Structure 1
Amino acid sequence: MSQANFEEARQAEEAYHSKLYQENDILEPGTWMSRPIPLVMELLDRILLHRSDVRIMDLGSGAGRNTIPLAQKLQGNESRIIGVDLLEEAVQKLQENAEKYGVQRFVESRQGDAEHTDFQENHYDYIVACGCLEHVSSEKALREVIQRMQKGTRLGGIHCIAMNTNIEEVEQETGKAVEPLIELNLQSQQAFDVLNQAYEGWNVLKEHSVLQSIEEEKYDTPTEFRSQSITFVAQRLK
């Protein structure tokens, strides 16, 4: 993707999510933010069996769809969850939601780009990256982000990655294809190949893919976002 197209895709995503956060609340019916991802919650339960104090990074946290429910499960005095998002609106909403749901002592909200986020070395027990890694600039950037995530993970720590692949956009009324404005549109197998290579030596706990569609208002006319959503979970063994 050229730099001009990357910037256009980034601006379209920012506008779409800004409008979404302004008009809708997390954990309320009406949007895909109405509940956390079940697997994200299940993996935290697995970690909590062995640790009382847990350090979590939610990369691309948005307004806290996953961050807040995760924080509600934390109890240890040293437990923390850091939510990182590119959008200022998301950062502010996450802070507000942490207070609304009474979990502000566990939650830290940071503004930042997933592609350039720093991870404190050997620090995190759980890193969630759902719906954000397809917004990096290239396959090379994806590999580099994963390397930094891995360096920031403690022994036994888990990564939960969900990415949209094979992305298409069609007009809702006509079914006409629209050129999707997405920064990194990998084919599913290509994405799985990258992930399996990057996580060689880790224990791969889950690989899964499913078709999904979401109605969006990101373009001049309402569209249907179609993708193969892939999930990849791995645990650090050494």
Structure 2
Amino acid sequence: MSQANFDEARRAEANYHKELYEDNEILEPGTWMSKPIPLVMELLDRLLLHKTDVNVLDLGCGAGRNTIPIAIALKNTSSKVVGLDLLDEAVAKLRENAQEYGVSDLIEADKSDAERAEIREDAYDYIIACGCLEHVSSEEALVQVLERMKRGTKLGGIHCIEMNTNVQEIETDTGRELQPLIELNLPTERAFSILEETYRGWNVLEYRTKLQSIDEEKYDKPSQFRAQSIIFAVQKNQ
């Protein structure tokens, strides 16, 4: 993707999410933010079978769809949940939601592009990267992010990744296929290949795809976002 196209895709995504956060609340019916991703919470429960306190990193956290339920589950512990997002609006909304749900003491919300996020070595028990890895600039950048995530994970720590691949954008009224404004639109097989190679030696906990369809207001006319979403979870065992 050229720099001009990357910048256009980044602007379109930013505008879409800004409007989404302005018009909708997390954990309320009406959008894909109405509940956390089930696997995210299931993997947290798995960690809590063996630990009381966990350090969590939520890359591309948005307004807190996953971050807030995680923090609620960790109330009354000495855990820490760090949420990073590129958009000022998302970071501000996460802080507001942390106050509203009474978990401000657990949550640290900061602005950072996932592609350039600094991840301290051996710092986290659980890293979530759901809906952000398709917004990096290249395959090489994707691998670099994954390697930083790996270095930042403690022994026994878990990664939960959800990444959209084979993205299509369809104009709702006409069915016309649009040029998708997505920064890294990988074929599903290629994305899985990168994940498998990068996480060689880790224990695979979940490995599947699902079809995803979301109504959007990202273009001049209403459209539908369609993708094959990868769900990939692994545990560091060496």
Give the alignment's TM-score, normalised by structure 2: 0.99
Partner of 2:5: 5
Q: Hey, what does 1:187 align to over in structure 2?
A: 187
**In structure 2, what is the equivalent of residue 47 of structure 1?**
47
Aligned residue for 2:126, secondary structure, equals strand
Q: Deviations over 1:9-46 (max 9, x none)?
A: 00000000000000000000100000000000000000
CA distance in 2, matches of 1:7, 1:171: 22
Pairwise mapping of residues 20-169 of structure 1 onto structure 2 (< 5 A)?
A: 20-75=20-75, 77-169=77-169
1:107 is aligned with what amino acid?
I
| AA partner of residue 18 (structure 2) | S
1:92-128 deviation digits (Å, cap 9, x = unpaired): 0000000000011100100010000011100100000
1:67 aligned partner, one-letter code: T
SS of 2:69's partner is helix
Deviations 1:194-216 (A, max 9, x none): 00000001001110101111000
Query: Which letter does structure 2 place at the counterpart of 1:174?
Result: T
Q: How many residues align?
A: 238
Aligned AA (2:148): R
What's the counterpart of residue 173 of structure 1?
173
1:78: how far off? 2.7
User: Which amino acid in the other structure matches residue 234 of structure 1?
Assistant: V
Tell me the distance in 2 between the aligned counterparts of 1:175 and 1:162. 27
> Structure 1: which 4+ aligned runs deviate by more than 4 Å?
none
AA aligned to 1:87 is L
CA contact (8 A) 2:131 2:163 kept: yes
What percent of counterpart residues are identical?
Answer: 61
Structure 1: which 5+ residue stretches go unaligned?
none
Secondary structure in 1 matching 2:115: helix
> For 1:205-216, what aligned pairs fall within 5 Å after superposition?
205-216=205-216
- Is the 1:52–1:76 contact (alpha carbons within 8 Å) kept by the matching residues of 2? no
Q: Which amino acid aligns with 1:122?
A: D
Task: Tell me, in whole angstroms, the C-alpha distance in 2 between the residues paired with 1:163 and 1:54.
Answer: 24
8 Å contact kept, 2:164–2:227: yes
AA at the equivalent of 2:209 = S
Give the distance between the partners of 1:181 and 1:53, measured in 2 at CA.
40
Quote the residue 1:231 is aligned against. 231
User: Which residue matches 2:204?
Assistant: 204
Question: Is the Cα contact below 8 Å between 2:75 and 2:103 reproduced in 1?
Answer: no
> Residue 54 of structure 1 contacts residue 76 of structure 1 at CA under 8 Å; is this kept in 2?
no
Specify the alignment match of 1:222 in structure 2. Answer: 222
1:52–1:75 Cα contact (<8 Å) kept:
no
Task: Confirm or deny: 8 A CA contact 1:14 1:87 kept in the other structure.
Answer: yes
Report the AA paired with residue 228 of structure 2: Q
For the residue of structure 2 that corresponds to 1:68, the secondary structure is: helix
The amino acid across from 2:93 in the alignment is: K
Q: CA deviation at 1:136?
A: 0.1
